[in-house]
Amino acid sequence: MNLRSVAADPTAATAASTAELVDATASLGGRTVWSGVNLTVEPGEFVAVIGPNGAGKSTLVKVLLGLLPLAGGEATVLGRPPGEASDRIGYLPQRRSFDPGLRVRGIDVVRLGLDGDRWGVPLPGLGRMRRRQEDDRRVDEVLGLVGATNYAQRPVGRVSGGEQQRLLIAQALVRRPALMLLDEPLDSLDLPNQAAVAALISDICRDQGVTVMLVAHDVNPILSYIDRVVYVAGGRAVSGTPHEVVRSDTLSRLYGTPIEVLTTSDGRLVIVGHPEAPARNCDRHLQHD
């Protein structure tokens, strides 16, 4: 079987790709997380990054954001080195919900995504009013887009997990990014909310023309929406269409241990025998080292 990006000819990638890794190695605290990773994400694609806990999915996101320099190889994001195009990337970090006591409204959190990195205070007059009005309109627009208008005025810690995720997606979207990096946005949501948020992200990807890379534990809630899967495991990564990647021989090779992928009658994929349990929660520890 010929997998598209791992070990594929890296020079074949066009300069117009949204994100690209060539023979990339990432390490945290002297330990290699993954190595030899080649990856090309094309504009407008909806890509899922899947893998067990601790495999380095969040590390991949941090590399693309420029928060973690590569230990080897090369990375390009939106045609520039990682970190230089951060104003065109919408980022939703792994988390974490807001503290229930946080007395800031949802709309303020979204707005900070728009102007939170500006210096100075917004004073009326001095030609700033027009910019503020434009900002207000844009914030209202994205709140409508994610369906958060009704609870945007409430303190962000007081809305439900699904509502918080929608607000955070609005925050990531508010600056009209070319690329959205969403780190486990479906984590800690119940199944109906997972389906609803996955559908919302898919709509945004198609309608707004935004490239989306979404990190998830489980491929199933997003299976019907995604163009490609990047499967991170065992210090390496494989990418391709879901049915190229999520199958017994590919995953067995990746993990180096027999893995069986079963398909249920409704098309869901069940992965049997993958060695996730010992590595549980490593992701979170790695993140904050």
Partner 1 sequence: MIPAHWAAQGTAIPLTWNILQDVRQLFEFHFMVNAFRAGTVVAVAAGLLGWFMVLRAQSFAGHTLAVAGFPGAAGATLAGLNPAWGFFAFCGAGAAIIAAVPRARAGTQGAGFSEESAAIGTVQAVALALGFLFVSLYHGFLNGINALLFGTFLGITDAQVGVLVAVAAVIVLALAIGGRQLLFASVDPDVAEARGVPVTTLGVAFLLLLGFAAAEASQITGSLLVFALLVIPAATAQRLTARPAASIALSVVIAVAVTWLGLAAAYYSSYPIGFSVTTFGFAAYTLAQIATHRAGGRQA
CB 41 within 8 A of CB 213: yes
- Residue number, 98 or 231, with CB nearest to partner 1: 98
Restricted to residues 55-74, the positions that interact with partner 1 (CB under 8 A) are 65, 67
Contact between 29 and partner 1 per CB under 8 A: no
Pairing of strands 46-50, 228-233: parallel
Restricted to residues 86-105, the positions that interact with partner 1 (CB under 8 A) are 86-87, 89, 91-93, 95-99, 102-105
In degrees, rounded to 5, the angle at the alpha carbon of residue 90 between the alpha carbons of residues 202 and 63 is: 105
In degrees, rounded to 5, the angle at the alpha carbon of residue 266 between the alpha carbons of residues 261 and 272 is: 20
- Give residue 64's identity as a one-letter amino acid code: L
Q: What number of other Cβ atoms are within 10 A of residue 164's Cβ? A: 23
Say how far apart CA 220 and CA 167 lie, in whole Å.
23
Q: Which stretch binds partner 1 (CB under 8 A): 17-25, 28-36, 82-90, 198-206?
A: 82-90
Per-residue contact track with partner 1, 144 to 183, x per CB under 8 A?
A: ---------xxx--x------------xx-----------
Minimum distance of partner 1 from residue 96's CB (angstroms): 4
- Residue number, 101 or 192, with CB nearest to partner 1: 101
Greatest Cα pair distance, the chain, in angstroms, is 67
Length in residues, the chain: 289
Q: Which of 122, 147, 209, 258 binds partner 1 (CB under 8 A)?
A: 122
Residue recorded with tokens 């954001």: 65
Residues that bind partner 1 (CB under 8 A): 65, 67, 83, 86-87, 89, 91-93, 95-99, 102-105, 108-109, 112-113, 115-122, 153-155, 158, 171-172, 284, 287-288
